[in-house]
Structure 1
Amino acid sequence: MTITQLYYVLAVAEHKNFTLAAEKCFVTQPTLSMQIQKLEDELKIQIFDRTKKPIQLTEIGEKIVNQAKNIVNEAGRITDIVEQQKGYIGGEFKIGIIPTVMPTLLPMFLGNFIKKYPKVNLIIEEHTTEEIIKRLKNGHLDCAIAATPLEEENLKEIVLYYEPFVAYIPEGNSSSEKTEIEISDLDIENILLLQDGHCFRDGILNLCKNNKYLNENHFQIESGSFETLIKLADEGLGTTLLPYLHTLDLNEKNKSKLKHFKNPKPAREVSLIYPKNELKIHIIDALRAVISGVVRGAIAFSDVEIISPKKQA
């Protein structure tokens, strides 16, 4: 039994196809198939049911894959241990970021991080919170930036900042003349939301549910971007809520339509998330320091009420 054989098994288990798994592993399909067959012969069991399309794990195969994940991940951490001991901050580092954070936060810290740590090869991927959790647990990401708390047993969270919700209310709305608003001031039946799958959307739903003003069926229009929601609001189709950092790049005309909430301001908690057994802590600490340094000047709210990003029944 070898680490390479287990790596090939994990690839087939993920892609459910020998040819595709071989491509992802940069080997020929016969080579990958032969190594997996050798492992099955050694163990005297079948890991995969090849009669099904797509290929499925057998019952014992599922148990082997779960253990193989631990073995392959731990083997890969030997290099991390050596690099950490040497104080070397470099190598490949995969980070996932949720869509509602990526466009505002990434430009703020990426340039600074690359200049300070040029030996780190950052691989940045945009994923939903659900996909981020899955990839962190499968070892496909080293860390992530997402709204928290997620309450995942095997993941650790380091808070980066608190980002308030800001209402975008066009002229003519009953609350458009107010300096500060409360949740009760929102026209709940006409709020425009991001599409399902965005945790910011779930945060808004939770915010309104917590205040007992919401029947989710009141929401009629959903979109994939804040820019579209703003344009729809300007067309008189409703109001929307935006994350604070997104409001900084609006033009002056649109900024005049923003309404902040009274204290404690409803906000989302944005954190670095990583597996508890992650050994690339030296890179995570470097990332946290850089992000905290650039965000501190743009956002500094303390009197906030954290709204959960998780769907609530």
Structure 2
Amino acid sequence: MTITQLQYVLAVAEHKNFTLAAEKSFVTQPTLSMQVQKLEDELDILIFDRGKKPITITEVGKKIVAQAKNIVAEAERIKDIVDQDKGFIGGDYTLGIIPTVMPTLLPMFLNTFIKKYPKVNLIIKEQPTEALIRNILDGHLDAGIAATPLEIEFIKERPLYYEPFMGYVPNSHRLTGQQQLGTEDLDVSDILLLQDGHCFRDGVINLCKSPKNLQDEHFKIESGSFETLVSLADEGMGMTLLPYLNTLDLDDRKRKFLRPFKNPSPAREISLIYHKSELKIQITEALKDVISSIVKGAIAFQDVKIISPLAKN
């Protein structure tokens, strides 16, 4: 039994197809198939039922796959130990970032990080929170940047910054005369929201005192981008809430519609999340240090109240 054989088993288990598993493993399909078959012969069991399309995992195969994940992870930890002992910070590192954070945060830290750590091959993927969690568990991501707390047993959360909410209130809105907003002023029925699947949407709904059934309204507008929400607000379709960093690039005409919240300002906690096994922790720590130092200068708010991204119901 070899680590390579276990890696091939994990690839087949993920893709349910020997050809695709071979492509992802950068070997020929006969080579991968032969090594998986060799392992099955050694153990005198079948890990995969090849008679079904797509390929399925046998009951004993499921137990082997689960154990293989642990063994492969521990083998990778050995290299981590050596890298840390040598003070080496480099190699492939795959980072997932949620869509409501990526456009504002990535330009702030990416250039600085790659210049400071040129031996790190940083691979960035934009993914919703649910996908980040799943891919961290499966080992497809080394870490993620997401709104927290998530309260998931196998994930560690390291806060990077706390980002206040800002109101965007056009002239036609009932709150246009207020220089500061209170959470008691908010009515979810006239707030333009991101579409389902965005944790910022859930945070906004949780912020409102008594969220209504959104299906009861005469119309419902949801978008995947803050830019669209701002444009709709300008057309008199309601107000919206924006994360602070998303307000920095607004032009002067739009900035006059921004309204801060009374202290403590509602805010979201943005964290670096990763598996509790802490593989590649030296790169994770380097990434955290770079991002925290850069964002600290952009967000000066101190008195904030964290709004959970977790839905209430």
Q: TM-score, normalised by structure 2?
A: 0.96
CA spacing shift, 1:189–1:218, aligned 2, 3 Å: farther
Displacement after TM superposition at 1:245 (Å): 0.4
Give the SS at the match of 1:266. strand
SS in 2 for 1:180: coil
1:162 corresponds in structure 2 to 162
Please name the residue that 2:245 is paired with.
Answer: 245
C-alpha contact 2:189 2:214 (8 A) present in aligned 1: no
Secondary structure at the aligned position of 2:61 is classed as helix
Q: Give the Cα–Cα distance (whole angstroms) in 2 for the partners of residues 254 and 190 of structure 1.
A: 19
Q: Secondary structure of 2:260's match? A: strand
CA distance in 1, matches of 2:216, 2:175: 19
Structure 1 counterpart SS, 2:162: strand
| Paired letter, 1:155 | I
Q: Deviations over 1:171-209 (max 9, x none)?
A: 11110111001123234212211111111111112212x
Name the counterpart of 1:22: 22
Q: Is the 8 A contact 1:162 1:269 kept in 2?
A: yes
- Match for residue 193 of structure 2? 193
1:214 counterpart residue number: 212
Corresponding residue SS for 1:193: strand
What is the distance in 2 between the residues matched to 1:90 and 1:35?
A: 30
The CA RMSD over aligned residues, in Å, is 1.3
The DSSP-based 3-state class of the residue aligned with 1:108 is helix
Deviation at residue 218 of structure 1 after TM alignment: 5.1
1:101-135 superposed Cα distances (whole Å, 9 cap, x missing partner):
11101111111111111111111111111111111
Distance 2:31 2:148 in 1: 43
Distance in 2 separating the partners of 1:142 and 1:224: 26
> Residues of 2 paired with 1:54 and 1:312: CA distance?
38
> Offset of 1:251 from its aligned partner?
0.8
Query: How many residues matched?
Result: 311
What runs of 5+ residues in structure 1 fail to find an aligned partner?
none
Map of 1:121 onto structure 2: 121
Are 1:205 and 2:205 matched, yes or no?
yes
Runs of 4+ in 1 over 4 A off after TM superposition: none
Q: Percent identity?
A: 67
Following the alignment from structure 2 to structure 1, what is the Cα–Cα distance between the partners of residues 109 and 95? 13
TM-score (norm 1): 0.96
Once the two structures are overlaid, the 10-residue window that deviates more, 66-75 or 215-224, is 215-224
Give the alignment of 1:2-151 within 5 angstroms.
2-151=2-151
Asked if the contact 2:188–2:205 (Cα under 8 Å) also holds between the matched residues in 1, the reply is no
Write the letter of the residue equivalent to 2:144. A
Q: Residues 230-253 of structure 1: CA distance to partner in whole angstroms, max 9, x if unpaired?
A: 111111112211111001111111
Rounded Cα–Cα distance in structure 2 between residues aligned with 1:207 and 1:300: 22
Correspondence list, 1:266-285, <5 A? 266-285=266-285
Aligned partner of 1:306: which letter?
I
Distance, in Å, in 2 between the alignment partners of 1:145 and 1:218 is 34
